[in-house]
A = this chain, B = another copy of it.
Amino acid sequence: MSAVLCAADDALALPRLSQARTPFTCQIEAMDENGQLRTLAIPVERALTVYVDKRELITLMTLGARPEWLVLGYLRNQGLISSAAQLDSITVDWEVGAAAVKTRSGVEAIEERTAQRVVTTGCGQGSVFGGLMDQVQGLRLAESARISQAQIHSLVETIRLSESTYKSAGSVHACALFSLSTAQPEMLLFIEDVGRHNAVDTIAGWSWLNSQSVAGPLALYTTGRLTSEMVIKAAQMGVPFVISRSGITQMGHQVAQTVGLCAIGRALNRRYLCFSHPQRLLQGG
């Protein structure tokens, strides 16, 4: 089988996804400090229960922006599948709040690997986090990737100008993925969710489906804080730059330093703080 055929096979092997859509906001009445009733929009928060081959796995509370990518990214980031091609289809039905995942040939040892989240008797670190850390052990991001100040500013400005559920209803986090292969970073995907981990999982799902068309180094933007889990998920996607409006925690910082990730926080207007790997910054660029 030739390399070309292999590539074609890979493309054909991507899972079929439903296109479930649902409103992101609803309206409620609230009373202000003067006793006046005001109508305002708030974000939707829905329960989405994930079934893998008819077996219940977990329920995610989500805004529901792109639930199929969310489920794919969740399975990826939990290390339950190692390739999107392992899945035949993901079908989301909002009427019953369910995502039915059909695999091509099952998930190896899924019972043990999901039970492990809560019931291993290992020592030291628990299984959820332990599992995530295992996946970044030995992971080192490509050393050559660089970002210029102009690119950081452009990226932050693009986010500022994006139409968003946050602007209309508040109470959601946003994540966005940018390609840095051009002077003006191109925003590949912008996702909001009630949970910031859902937003980054959704981006992880999308990037798996589009890995062949995405070129150059990538940057992940998040409105949320750079905790360990956020940095680990970026590193798992091979993203060397994470940019946040907020700050960083000690473990987020530690993981970023270990894997070679340039973590930038407090990014607002033309200001920022680079918490790790400043050698990736092109000064004056």
Question: Is A207 part of the binding interface, using a Cβ–Cβ cutoff of 8 Å?
Answer: no
Q: How far is the CA of A210 from the CA of B129 in the complex (A)?
A: 32
Task: Indicate with 1 or 0, residue by residue over A243-285, a CB within 8 angstroms of chain B CB atoms.
Answer: 0001111111100000000000100001111110010010100
Contact A55 B225 (CB under 8 A): no
Task: Determine the residue in chain B with the shortest Cβ distance to A170.
Answer: B247
Q: How far is the CB of A110 from chain B (nearest CB, A)?
A: 9
Q: Which residues from chain B contact A57 at a C-beta distance below 8 Å?
A: 118-119, 126
Contact B61 A247 (CB under 8 A): no
Question: Is A164 part of the binding interface, using a Cβ–Cβ cutoff of 8 Å?
Answer: no
| Of the residues B40, B226, B281, contact of A273 by C-beta under 8 Å | B40
Q: Which residues from chain B contact A170 at a C-beta distance below 8 Å?
A: 246-247
9-residue interface stretch from A3-11, A23-31, A67-75, A183-191: A23-31
Q: How far is the CB of A46 from chain B (nearest CB, A)?
A: 7
Contact B31 A281 (CB under 8 A): yes
Contact B127 A119 (CB under 8 A): no
Known: A43-B250, A59-B125, A61-B251. A225 touches B171 (CB 8 A): yes
Q: How far is the CA of A24 from the CA of B14 in the complex (A)?
A: 45
Contact A249 B44 (CB under 8 A): yes
Contact A273 B31 (CB under 8 A): yes
Contact A117 B117 (CB under 8 A): yes
Contact A45 B249 (CB under 8 A): yes
Task: Determine the residue in chain B with the shortest Cβ distance to A252.
Answer: B45
Q: Which residues from chain B contact A169 at a C-beta distance below 8 Å?
A: 247
Task: Indicate with 1 or 0, residue by residue over A33-68, a CB within 8 angstroms of chain B CB atoms.
Answer: 101001010111111011000111111010000000
Question: Is A229 part of the binding interface, using a Cβ–Cβ cutoff of 8 Å?
Answer: yes
| Of the residues B119, B124, B129, contact of A111 by C-beta under 8 Å | B119
Q: How far is the CB of A107 from chain B (nearest CB, A)?
A: 13
Task: Determine the residue in chain B with the shortest Cβ distance to A271.
Answer: B33
User: 17 A–B contact pairs at CB < 8 A?
Assistant: A26-B250, A30-B275, A31-B273, A33-B271, A43-B247, A43-B249, A47-B126, A50-B126, A55-B119, A56-B120, A59-B127, A59-B130, A61-B129, A61-B229, A114-B118, A171-B247, A171-B248
Q: A58-B117, A61-B129 are in contact. List 20 more A-B contacts (CB 8 A).
A: A28-B250, A28-B275, A30-B265, A31-B273, A32-B271, A32-B272, A32-B274, A42-B275, A43-B249, A47-B251, A55-B121, A57-B118, A57-B119, A59-B128, A61-B228, A96-B124, A115-B119, A169-B247, A171-B246, A194-B225
List of 7 A-B pairs having minimum Cβ-Cβ separation, nearest first: A59-B126, A45-B249, A171-B247, A45-B251, A170-B247, A31-B278, A30-B273
